[in-house]
Amino acid sequence: MDKVRKKLQESVSFISSYLPLVNSHMVEFFSNDLWEAHVPNKIKTEFKEKHWNKENIIDIFLENLEASHSELGRFIQSCSANSLEKNEIIIGIDELQKAFRMNRCSNMDCVNKDKFMSEKKFHEVKKMSELVADLVRTTDATHVIDIGDGKGYLSSYLSLVYKLQVLGLDSSTNLTQGAAERANKLQKRWNSALNKFDIEDEPFNNETPSKTKSIEDTNKRNECYKQVTKFITYDTDLKNLLYEKFPGSIEYQYGLIGLHTCGNLSPICLRQFLYNNNAPFLVNIGCCYHLLEEGNDHESTFPMSNYLKQSNFVLGRNARMLSLQAPARIFVSKEIPQTLMFRAVFESFMEHKMGKCIGKGREVGRMRSKCSSFVEYSRKGIKKLGYNIHVSDEEIATFFEKYAPSLQFLEFYFMIRVVLAPVIENIILLDRLLFLQENGIKHSFLVKLFDSYVSPRCYGIVAIRDKQ
């Protein structure tokens, strides 16, 4: 616990100097002169002195990833040192399985040959289901409860491939009904795949495999996955919901899982695990950090640990939104959205025509189709805002040309924020891990479950309760 607290303290101390930067709005880059306001002076000076004028700004960051002789390089390395990727507390699935002497369940690469789901979703479901099945074996859990079940891919996979009894919970009636229908379709396609690819359905226990028997058993297996529409809170009686769908006289032990549980749902999962002694393990990967509720009261979902609560640390919504960036994808694609420039210049143009916006700000949102020019973007933006502005295409184009030379500054500012994003996610997840450890869950870990390029939200909280 001391090690986790120390890492959290270091990351909080580091990010504190950059909170104004990570909480800024890219749309205000020009209107509020964010370059002068928030970029560290030494980096600004270096940018001017080195005349960084590459066609692709991302190349500058790639060249400075390991450059300790430059201000930018030292900044990037400091960000990296406070990120999840370089956090020595992070462990891999193999390390976790070795530590708890888990018997690895066989991979079922053949399952998605018939395209049950997207490659990204299959990558996530396959990796997570392997771990969940291992944990079921290790802890002797009788059931699995999937909180935030969504479309039911993970639950269906666990019941079809690993023969686990799964209760899927989601607050959306449409998603719950869709999950049930999808489970029926997947069952039929599973049977077809067994024949088509000549697969023997490997048993989860020690039974002798038989293709004929396995296809017959698949019909029964659909009964292993049940769905309930329910908005989950800290006080929801999960045990009662489980017995309603899976009646029985024995004392059930149920693992709690959640794949990309949105916003507040991840902290709710952690609290549910903490207060449910019938839950021997937890696997939770969160997302949508911007939807967390910050505060120090019991209902708040960030921070969770007593350590951060007592420090009165506040991230801010924009910072939490920034944490959802995908640096691995950006560095590989070397693409910065053109709309960043369009939107920032458009904000300045609107101020020029309409004056400073007070309050919530101008919400343009996403354009349905890609705009080929700033003129097209501005026309659509003005229409969406409902403004009655008489302006020529020439005036719009001329206004944009005035800002065009500053594109490299905007993109550089964007990339500074991108390399800070993992630090913020690191803080959020370390806070959750520390919360569990503060409350006596000593076997709690931060685990890298997925490939960060395929699935940017790739880190999960895994906890195993000591056997009673």
Residue 10: pLDDT band (50, 70, 90) is very high
Residue 182: pLDDT band (50, 70, 90) is low
Residue 208: pLDDT band (50, 70, 90) is very low
Q: How many residues does the chain have?
A: 468
Asked if residue 5 lies in contact with residue 393, where contact means CB atoms within 8 angstroms, the answer is: no
Residue 96: pLDDT band (50, 70, 90) is confident
pLDDT digit string, tens, across residues 246-280: 998 788 999 999 999 999 999 999 999 999 999 99
State percent of the chain over pLDDT 70.
86
Give, for 462, the enclosing helix (H) or strand (E).
strand 459-464
- Higher-pLDDT residue of 19 and 220 is 19
Please report the pLDDT score of residue 86 as a whole number: 81
Q: Which amino acid is at 191?
A: N
Q: Which residues are bridge partners to 92 per DSSP?
A: 448
Please report the pLDDT score of residue 72 as a whole number: 93
Residue 117 CB contacts under 8 Å (≥ 6 apart), including other chains: 125, 153
Highest-confidence range of 18-32, 61-75, 104-118, by mean pLDDT? 18-32
Task: Give the DSSP per-residue string, 395-434.
Answer: HHHHHHHHHGGGHHHHHHHHHHHHHHHHHHHHHHHHHHHH
pTM of the model as a whole: 0.90
Residue 358: count other Cβ atoms within 10 Å of its Cβ. Answer: 6
Residue 238: count other Cβ atoms within 10 Å of its Cβ. Answer: 21
- Higher-pLDDT residue of 4 and 56 is 4
Average pLDDT over residues 128-150: 94
Please tell me what DSSP assigns to residue 157.
H
Evaluate if residue 71 carries a pLDDT over 70. yes
Please tell me what DSSP assigns to residue 345.
H
- Higher-pLDDT residue of 178 and 24 is 24
Please report the pLDDT score of residue 66 as a whole number: 77
Structure tokens at 362: 């101008």
Q: Comparing 8-22, 134-148, 259-273, 361-375, which segment has the lowest mean pLDDT?
A: 361-375
pLDDT digit string, tens, across residues 327-374: 999 999 999 999 999 999 999 999 998 877 765 567 888 887 889 999
pLDDT digit string, tens, across residues 36-60: 999 999 999 998 888 776 678 999 9
Q: How far apart are CA 462 and CA 436, in angstroms?
A: 10
Evaluate if residue 179 carries a pLDDT over 60. yes
Asked if residue 230 lies in contact with residue 171, where contact means CB atoms within 8 angstroms, the answer is: yes
Please report the pLDDT score of residue 248 as a whole number: 85
Q: Comparing 214-223, 233-242, 327-336, which segment has the lowest mean pLDDT?
A: 214-223
Average pLDDT over residues 391-412: 94
